[in-house]
Chains A and B, each alone.
Chain A
Amino acid sequence: MKRRLLSEIVNYQGQADRLVLATIIRAGGSSPRHAGAQMLILPAGESRDTIGGGPMEGEVIEQARQLLKEGGTGKVSFNLTNEEVAAAGGMCGGEVTVFLETIEVEES
């Protein structure tokens, strides 16, 4: 985890009760980011950093929106052939597993 992203979490000052952290825990093929890439999803469509953009990131953000409401964790795998990715408008193929987790922002 990048120190900068960690600081974003620790120093978050907004109104939200929850944040969602998405992490690529497994990546193969020619996926655009390596395992370890992380993204923080905030309410109101805001996010920090990226797990590679494209349709995969869009899908992860969708799932994150659910978790922002309900809490909990999620795991989503993408096994994208180059044709599928190209059809969806992305650039690279590869297998990717993303883990999503909710961070509860309690009053201090």
Chain B
Amino acid sequence: MVRRKFFENIESDGTVIGTVTGCEARRELVGEKFIIEDENDIVYSGKDLGIKGEMIENFYEREKPALLEVEIDDGQCMEIYLESVERTPRLIIFGGGHVAHPLAAVGKVIGFEVVVFDDRAEFACRERFPEVDKVICAGFTEGISDLKFYPDDYIVIVTRGHKFDYSVLSQVIDKNVAYIGMIGSKRKVKLILDELVTEDGFSRELVDRVYAPVGLPIGSETPAEIAVSICSQIIKVRRQGQ
């Protein structure tokens, strides 16, 4: 048994949560939890289990949950499950037009925190995107510098014109994010990508990282079908790393 209040102590993403999932000798400890913000700061849900930061550190890679056997003070063994608090990955959509609309909806369904960005108030508004987490109305050239990007961000560029696509891409291409996709025909996409190398001096490696034309080739035609093809690609990158 753990009190709900315990979970309120968990502030930052990446915080490690430990749970005693087994202890033959002292069954009353099963279900006790603890939080490790850093190894010198361990908060227990109930009893002090004598967990040491370095004890955990040896086993724990923050990327993946782990199940370990740990010896406690009186020589008994406890089974401890460790996990970390994972940020909800973000899907940031530049452009609020006809593709963005179904894309935001599908992105939400597959578990993303969805952000829509457009420079037109009638497209970047709550009425159009009631289900998304954030709608930003700002210019494509000046508004992006206010955004902070994270390694688990997925960016899709679907503005109303190639000029804006180019502008957005040139500002996000060197960010450390999980995915950048840009809409467009093969020919137009190639023009933009080449220009980023020849005019703006970005490396070929950076440019090759961009998924463009965006989406998996499933023959999609309608905006909704295109949204599904983009999300399929995002799932593939997220789950299979490519």
Contact = CB atoms under 8 A, between A and B. Distances in A.
B3 interface: yes
B86 A103 contact: no
A21 to B, nearest CB: 9
Contact of A102 (B1, B5, B10): B1
Interface in A11-55: 12, 19, 23, 25-26, 35-36
Contacts of A4: 88, 111
Nearest to A67: B1
B1 A9 contact: no
Nearest to B3: A104
Contacts of A101: 1-2, 19, 31
B80 to A, nearest CB: 10
B81 A99 contact: yes
Contacts of B64: 35-36
Contact of A25 (B5, B10, B17, B67): B67
A35 B4 contact: no
Interface string B8-23: 1010010001010110
A36 B2 CA distance: 19
Contacts of B153: none
Interface string B68-103: 000000000000010111111000000000000000
A98 B3 CA distance: 20
A3 B13 contact: yes
Highest count of chain A CB atoms <10 Å: which of B4, B83, B88: B4
A9 B2 CA distance: 12
A6 B4 contact: no
A103 B2 contact: yes
Residue from A26, A75, A103 whose CB has the most chain B CB atoms within 10 Å: A103
B132 interface: no
Contacts of B13: 3
B21 A1 contact: no
B224 interface: no
Given A73-B1, A105-B4, A2 B67 contact: no
B88 A3 contact: yes
A106 B2 CA distance: 10
B7 A103 contact: yes
Contacts of A99: 19, 21, 81
A71 B1 contact: yes
B86 A1 contact: yes
B83 A1 contact: yes
B22 A75 contact: yes
A72 interface: yes
Interface of B: 1-5, 7-8, 10, 13, 17, 19, 21-22, 30-31, 64-65, 67, 81, 83-88, 111
27 contacts: A1-B83, A1-B86, A2-B85, A3-B85, A3-B87, A6-B7, A6-B10, A9-B4, A9-B7, A23-B81, A25-B67, A26-B67, A36-B64, A72-B31, A75-B22, A99-B19, A99-B81, A101-B1, A101-B31, A102-B2, A103-B1, A103-B2, A103-B3, A103-B7, A104-B4, A105-B4, A106-B5
